[in-house]
Amino acid sequence: MKTLSFPSLFVLTSFFLGAIQLHVSNAQLNATFYSNTCPNVSAIVQNVIQQALQSDPRIGASLIRLHFHDCFVDGCDASILLDNNGTLRSEKDAAPNTNSARGFDVVDKIKTAVENSCPGIVSCADILALAAESSVSLSGGPSWNVLLGRRDSKTANQAGANTSIPAPFESLSNITAKFTAVGLNINDLVALSGAHTFGRAQCRLFSSRLYNFSGSGNPDPSLNTTYLATLRQICPQNGSTTALANLDFTTPNTFDNNYFSNLQTNQGLLQSDQELFSTPGAATISIVNTFSSNQNAFFQSFAQSMINMGNISPLTGTNGEIRSDCKKVN
Ligand code: HEM
Ligand SMILES: *[C@@H]1O[C@H](CO)[C@@H](O)[C@H](O)[C@H]1NC(C)=O
Ligand SMILES: *[C@@H]1O[C@H](CO)[C@@H](O)[C@H](O)[C@H]1NC(C)=O
Ligand SMILES: *[C@@H]1O[C@H](CO)[C@@H](O)[C@H](O)[C@H]1NC(C)=O
Ligand SMILES: *[C@@H]1O[C@H](CO)[C@@H](O)[C@H](O)[C@H]1NC(C)=O
Ligand SMILES: *[C@@H]1O[C@H](CO)[C@@H](O)[C@H](O)[C@H]1NC(C)=O
Ligand SMILES: *[C@@H]1O[C@H](CO)[C@@H](O)[C@H](O)[C@H]1NC(C)=O
Ligand SMILES: *[C@@H]1O[C@H](CO)[C@@H](O)[C@H](O)[C@H]1NC(C)=O
Ligand SMILES: *[C@@H]1O[C@H](CO)[C@@H](O)[C@H](O)[C@H]1NC(C)=O
């Protein structure tokens, strides 16, 4: 096998570094993007969410989930916000979102408030990223400097939403692969799964664990038997498939690290939650233990992983557009 000489290796390396640099500088978000054009945008977003939380303690959870489901499908480009029309098949109607994703009305309220102060300036994709941060910090979680400068897509990808967003019935290795596909690693997976420290899930998304796990005729063996009894009351056999359980039964509306201590006592709600701790030999176990014993470590990692997720393939520069109504292309 012919080895490359030192000079050609150098030239090749410089070329790739240059290409990477060019790519990054092309798509670089920053925290000061609106500092001249809409300096108060964070406060406006936060203010609307604070109001909404008064009547709906779940709304913060619903909003951060929209950002996640947006970013995993062709990047953080507000594609999830587009409504169905004659030709466009919306992501809202994709399997992970239909009768599940919520908070679109509050996103519209935020957009209206932002447009009143700074018309035509702030993208819907950036509004989702800002709303995610406000939702976490207003619920007791960390704050971070949200990177901005995303633009909005002119299309949606329903097929992509069906296949790219992880499902609660998937194995840890399948879910890890979906994170890897968007450039996120297992630290990001465990930290971001910690968002299940607030919000709710419908019985249909975990009840097979209560009665007939993987066709075994028995409950999921990795489910705490005391917790199992509680969940069976919330989700009786043949009961409503849309009844809700708290993702974190201890502090349902607070952003803290109890999600991770729940996993240590086999009290994760979704199969995908418990797998992080109960998959034999998994590298995620020690990360769960770290976050369970050290809330600061969780908060720091969570903030960094939210930035990592928010950096997935943004539209920048002259790509895409600034939608004036988040529900439709201009
Ligand atoms: C790791 C793979 C993940 C899976 C399989 C998953 C799955 C789910 C499911 C099935 C629900 C319940 C939906 C419903 O009942 O309608 C849910 C809710 C939620 N998810 Fe995830 N999720 C994952 C990761 C994430 C990430 C990365 C975030 C955010 C950073 C997140 C944030 C949330 C929140 C806050 C809720 C509650 C929403 C509400 O109450 O409206 N999830 N998730
Ligand atoms: C932020 O990004 C925008 C667009 O790329 C650029 O014009 C601006 O100079 C950047 N600001 C900083 C502080 O890097
Ligand atoms: C910024 O927005 C908040 C929330 O809407 C408002 O209370 C505050 O007065 C605004 N500040 C400025 C300088 O416009
Ligand atoms: C639906 O939305 C697409 C994408 O924005 C647009 O090209 C098309 O004209 C719209 N169709 C209708 C019937 O409004
Ligand atoms: C996405 O999944 C939904 C629900 O399963 C299905 O109705 C729809 O046809 C799928 N869309 C595409 C484009 O595959
Ligand atoms: C994992 O992904 C493979 C390939 O897509 C699929 O065949 C399998 O059913 C998935 N397993 C689970 C448990 O989701
Ligand atoms: C559990 O599910 C399997 C596969 O779907 C089914 O064959 C079996 O009858 C179910 N068992 C019970 C007890 O419902
Ligand atoms: C649930 O429905 C099935 C089929 O209709 C029935 O066989 C079963 O006895 C019911 N279980 C309970 C607990 O009501
Ligand atoms: C089940 O949960 C209880 C707390 O409700 C805890 O004391 C116990 O250790 C847990 N059992 C297992 C096997 O994790």
Residues near 111 by beta carbon (within 8 Å), at least 6 away in sequence: 124, 127, 325, 326
- Determine the straight-line distance between the first and last CA of the chain, rounded to whole angstroms: 56
Per the structure, how many domains does the chain have? 2
188 and 149, same structural domain? no
How far is Cα of residue 204 from the mean position of the Cα atoms in its chain? 20
pLDDT of residue 48: 98
pLDDT of residue 3: 39
8 A C-beta contact, residue 77 and residue 150:
yes
Q: Which of 190, 164, 189 is nearest to 178 (CA)?
A: 164
Choose between 7 and 230: higher pLDDT: 230
pLDDT of residue 27: 61
Record the pTM. Answer: 0.94
Atom from ligand 4 closest to the CA of residue 86: 13
Work out the mean pLDDT of the chain and round it to a whole number: 93
Is the pLDDT assigned to residue 97 strictly greater than 70? Answer: yes
Q: Where are the beta strands (DSSP E) in 194-328?
A: 200-202, 244-246
pLDDT of residue 18: 37
- Residues 58, 65, 67, 69: which is the catalytic one? 69
196 and 99, same structural domain? no
pLDDT of residue 85: 93
Q: Which domain holds residue 107?
A: 41-165
| Annotated binding-site residue? 83 | no
Residue 321 forms part of a structural domain: no
The secondary structure of 24-73 as a DSSP string is HHHT--BTTTTTTT-TTHHHHHHHHHHHHHHH-TTHHHHHHHHHHHHHTT
Half-sphere exposure of 177 (CA within 13 A, CB side): 8
Is the pLDDT assigned to residue 218 strictly greater than 80? Answer: yes
pLDDT of residue 12: 38
Sign of CA dihedral 283, 288, 293, 295: positive
- Using 50, 70 and 90 to split pLDDT, how confident is the model at 11? very low
- Residue 211 Cα to ligand 1 midpoint, Å, equals 22
8 A C-beta contact, residue 118 and residue 44:
no
Q: Identify whether 23 is a catalytic site residue.
A: no
235 and 160, same structural domain? no
pLDDT of residue 26: 52
Residue 118 forms part of a structural domain: yes
pLDDT single digits (tens) 43-69: 999 999 999 999 999 999 999 999 999
What's at 140, amino acid-wise?
G
Of the candidates 96, 131, 165, which is a domain's last residue? 165
Residue 6 forms part of a structural domain: no
| Annotated binding-site residue? 139 | no
- Using 50, 70 and 90 to split pLDDT, how confident is the model at 7? very low
8 A C-beta contact, residue 100 and residue 201:
no
Residue 24 forms part of a structural domain: no
Residue 142 forms part of a structural domain: yes
Site of tokens 């201590």 = 261
Question: What value does the mean pLDDT take over residues 14-42?
Answer: 71
CATH of the domain at 103: 1.10.520.10
147 and 199, same structural domain? no
Nearest CA to ligand 8 atom 5: 238
CATH of the domain at 215: 1.10.420.10
pLDDT of residue 266: 98
Q: Which of 199, 200, 196, 223 is nearest to 210 (CA)?
A: 223
CA distances from 143 to 88, 117, 299 (A): 36, 24, 9
Is the pLDDT assigned to residue 80 strictly greater than 60? Answer: yes
Measured from the CB, is residue 237 less than 6 Å from ligand 8?
Answer: yes
Count of C-beta atoms within a 10 Å radius of residue 206: 24
191 and 156, same structural domain? no
